[in-house]
């Protein structure tokens, strides 16, 4: 079996934002049967990040392996004291290499340096791997709400981490 190449975290380059949207669309359709409205939601989040980007308060990390984008995470400003973790994704070929720790920890470090007091995030109850990552990093579930989105009946969860 071929050994996996190391994954590096870096700032986004031209074309990466489109790949982040594509990666979410492909993986969520294949793994969870989400419809294309999920990809549209991701595209909107990415567009807002690019258009409103404040480098003192926001960041995006791209995970790259063998020259290919295999993951991402974004930290955006929600309020002067609260940041929001967004768009955490890890391609199956890059799983098992610690990205589930590295990506959220990059957000937490940046948020502390930017003097945020809390990080929040939005996830779905069925995303067990993501929920385990958040819990391992100290996030706690704040609320949950049933909804119908992306062609599915889901339970949205808001999680938070005090810094």
Whether residue 1 is contained in a domain is answered as no
CA dihedral 82, 100, 69, 6 (to 10 degrees): 130
- Whether 117 maps to a domain, the answer reads yes
Structure confidence by residue, pLDDT tens digits, 67-90: 999 999 999 999 999 999 999 999
Tell me, yes or no, whether 71 lies in a domain: yes
User: CATH no. for residue 43?
Assistant: 3.40.630.30
DSSP codes joined into one string, 119-159: EEEEEETT-HHHHHHHHHTT-EEEEEEEEEETTEEEEEEEE
Exposed e or buried b per residue across 87-120, where buried means at least 16 C-beta atoms within 10 angstroms of its C-beta? bbbbbeebeebebbebbbebbbebbeebebeebb
- Whole-model pTM: value is 0.94
In this structure, is residue 2 part of a structural domain? no
52: in domain: yes
In a domain, 23, yes or no: yes
HSE on the CB side for 106, CA within 13 Å? 22
Provide φ and ψ at 136, rounded to 5°. Answer: -65, -30
Position 82 in a domain: yes
114 lies in a domain? yes
Q: Which residues, other chains included, contact 29 with Cβ-Cβ below 8 Å and sequence gap of 6+?
A: 35, 36, 38, 39
Tell me the pLDDT tens digit for each residue of 152-161: 999 999 999 9
Q: 140 lies in which domain range?
A: 8-162
Condensed to tens digits (0 to 9), the pLDDT of residues 19-57 reads: 999 999 999 999 999 999 999 999 999 999 999 999 999
Query: How many independent structural domains does the chain possess?
Result: 1
């Amino acid at each position: 079996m071929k050994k996996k190449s190391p994954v590096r975290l870096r700032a986004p380059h031209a074309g990466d934002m489109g790949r982040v949207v594509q990666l979410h669309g492909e993986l969520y359709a294949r793994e969870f049967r989400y419809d294309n409205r999920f990809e549209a939601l991701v595209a909107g989040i990415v567009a807002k990040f690019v258009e409103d980007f404040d480098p003192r308060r926001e960041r995006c990390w791209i995970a790259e392996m063998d020259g290919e984008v295999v993951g991402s995470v974004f930290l955006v400003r929600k309020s002067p004291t609260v940041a929001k973790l967004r768009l955490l994704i890890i391609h199956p070929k890059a799983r098992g290499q610690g990205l589930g720790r590295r990506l959220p920890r990059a957000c937490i470090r940046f948020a502390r340096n930017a003097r945020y007091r809390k990080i929040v995030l939005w996830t779905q109850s069925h995303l067990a791997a993501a929920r385990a990552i958040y819990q391992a990093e100290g996030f706690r579930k704040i609320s949950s709400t049933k909804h119908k989105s992306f062609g599915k009946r889901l339970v949205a969860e808001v999680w938070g981490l005090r810094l």
